[in-house]
Amino acid sequence: PLPAKDTNLVPNGTFSAGVQDWGVGSAGILDTTVYKTPDVTNDAGDTNSLRITAAKLWETVGPPRLPVVPKVDYHIACWMKLDKAVQAHVKFYWMDAAGQRIATVYLCTGMDGTVDWFEKSGIFTAPANAAAIDMIFLSGGQPEAPGTLWIDRVVVEPWAAPSTSMADWQQALHDQY
């Protein structure tokens, strides 16, 4: 079953507000003019994407830590484009309530070269002791040949409604934090 509309936990996953809410560092460049993500515009028709150009291994960006509910399935997805990329990765860490990493999962790993827009997605179950997820995008390159990774439409959302009511699920999430 598809998730309900507007269940994305990622703030500003379409970059409609620039890089607001994202840990970008000096490598992230918001590209709003040339590179458009096909067929994934949001309801406002926004087509911004985040461009990460890296002249070394690794430049990383990511949204803030996102709260999750243990043992719930999550649909995790993003659109990507590569230009001379070296070892581009999308990975996430399941974190426990103390902020300790309990598992690392790759949505994609070790992507090199130049590839037009494509989607990577999967369904992942939060571990029994998970309280949050950290999502990280990595781009690599060399000083003489920087690599570029574009990302857009970043989604982390419950895949199927929990066995309890939405009100109970929201309360459980609230109680964890």
Please name the amino acid found at residue 41. T
Q: Give pTM, 2 decimals.
A: 0.75
Average pLDDT, the chain: 78
Query: Tell me, what's the pLDDT at 20?
Result: 73
Peptide bond into 79 cis (omega under 30): no
Distance CA 137, CA 132 (A): 17
Using alpha carbons only, give the angle 166, 171, 176 rounded to the nearest 5 degrees. 130
Q: Model confidence at 96, in pLDDT bands (50, 70, 90)?
A: very high
What average pLDDT does range 103-129 have in this prediction? 90
**23 pLDDT exceeds 80?**
no
